Amino acid sequence: MENQVNQANSKNTILNYGGIYGLIIVFVSLVAYAMGKHLDPSVAMISLLITAIAIIGSIVLGIRKFKIQNNGFLTFGQAIKIGVGIAILGTLIVIIYQQIFTNVIEPDFMQQALDRTEESLIDAGLSDEQIETQLAIQEKMSGPLISSAMGILFWAFIGFVISAIAGAVMQKKEEDTF
């Protein structure tokens, strides 16, 4: 019976903190778009920094919240489950937003991104053949299925690493109190 209570708490924690993480990233993307800076590399670096802070913060705070709700107890496995769950849920929210953005809000976004990449490759002095190869790879990798699958795998892995570290630090089993 106690395990069922923990599962309910972990689901609520994952939903709350995964939602917060996803919405932060969507908000940052919308602000960049509203400012007309959604293709600016410097804004992309700021966005990446905010993403890193958001995922670390949401996972650590989510695990901490679960531990508090669980009478101060947390196993390593629970920390992993919560952290990866938060990362995947937040990533799914971002993927849904990206699909809406690229198909409804800004349908020519992918072409704009390819044009920006082509300009930077020309500036870097690459040959026409190298540029065509790079653009073909980028176009294949930016398809909705491949980019979504890679995004989920990547952020799930990042969530695993963050939650493993947080879980190792915060874990406290009931056996530890005896």
| Residues 143 and 83 sit within 8 Å (Cβ to Cβ) | no
Q: Which residue has the tokens 């800004």?
A: 106
pLDDT at 125: 78
pLDDT tens figures, 64-122: 999 999 988 999 999 999 999 999 999 999 999 999 988 898 888 777 777 777 777 77
Question: Would you list the domain boundaries of the chain?
Answer: 2-107+156-177
pTM score? 0.83
Highest mean pLDDT: which of 96-110, 129-143, 147-161? 147-161
Q: What does pLDDT average to over the chain?
A: 86
At residue 1, what is the residue type? Answer: M
- Say whether pLDDT at 7 is over 60: no
The structure tokens listed for 75 are: 């196993």
**Integer angstrom CA distances of residue 13 from 31, 92, 146:** 27, 16, 29
CA torsion through residues 45, 48, 52, 53, sign: positive
Distance between CA atoms of 9 and 58, rounded to whole angstroms?
16
